[in-house]
Amino acid sequence: MKTSYKSLAMVFGFAGLVSYQSFAGAPQFNKAPLTPKQLQVYGYLIDSLSKTNFKSFSDSTFPLDLSAVGKDAPCLQGIQLEDTKESSNVIHQLEPELLRGHSIHLVDPEQELAILKNRDAYVASRGSDSTMETSGMMKDPGVLALSEIAFDKSGDFAVLKYVFLCGLRCNSGAVLVLEKVGPQWSGKSRRACAFAINRENPR
């Protein structure tokens, strides 16, 4: 009987370890409201990308992972980022106020999944050309998702990633370096960082 209890303890102990390891690396929700500086950066990027005619926006950020970019990337030269531990391990809930003045809908993960499945089904039945304008641009590039933001130590640069999800395995995006010019943020002073996007897990 003692052996049975010992075996059960080992099984549950192993299961608990697996469970802990599964969640240990999961990003944590930061319940603190976004700072005015973060709101300003997100607002600028949403305004800029609204020209692509996207209609859906993910209601939460995702961790900023710069491992595919590299510390010596040309886009990051001369920039000393603050500790990126937080921006790579937490996520924030995004509020509808960010979309004020835009005809864009905030979507939760369940709604996002439904949109992506519908887009895949639409393309499968009508072909990829059905999603394109005559100008060559997509009619709707998909659901926009934004990462957490890493600021440099001077507070004059902000690094973040955006991803357009156009299907379950269809996506595009970039890592951007924005610069504060006067009271506004701008993405014109530096090129986007080059990186290979992961089709299976683009975030």
Work out how many domains the chain is built from and give that number: 1
Give domain status of residue 11, yes or no. Answer: no
Task: Decide if 77 is inside a domain.
Answer: yes
User: Each residue of 78-115: pLDDT tens digit?
Assistant: 899 998 888 999 999 999 999 999 999 999 999 999 99
Cβ atoms within 10 Å, residue 185 = 21
Domain enclosing residue 154, as ranges: 29-186
d(CA 53, CA 59): 18
In a domain, 4, yes or no: no
In a domain, 164, yes or no: yes
Side-chain-facing half-sphere of 164: CA atoms under 13 Å: 18
Is pTM beyond 0.85 here?
Answer: no
Q: Which residue has better confidence, 57 or 66?
A: 57
The contacts of residue 131 (CB under 8 Å, 6+ apart) are 119, 122, 123, 138, 139, 140, 166
Residue 194 lies in a domain: no
What value does the mean pLDDT take over residues 57-70?
A: 93
Q: How confident is the model at residue 126 (pLDDT cuts 50, 70, 90)?
A: confident
Q: Is 199 exposed, middle or buried (0-12, 13-18, 19+ CB in 10 A)?
A: exposed
- CA distances to 112, 154, 179 from 34, rounded to whole Å, are 23, 19, 19
Residue 19 has pLDDT above 50, yes or no: no
**Percentage of the chain modeled with pLDDT above 90:** 58
Q: Is the pLDDT of residue 67 over 50?
A: yes
Per-residue pLDDT tens digits for 28-42:
999 999 999 999 999
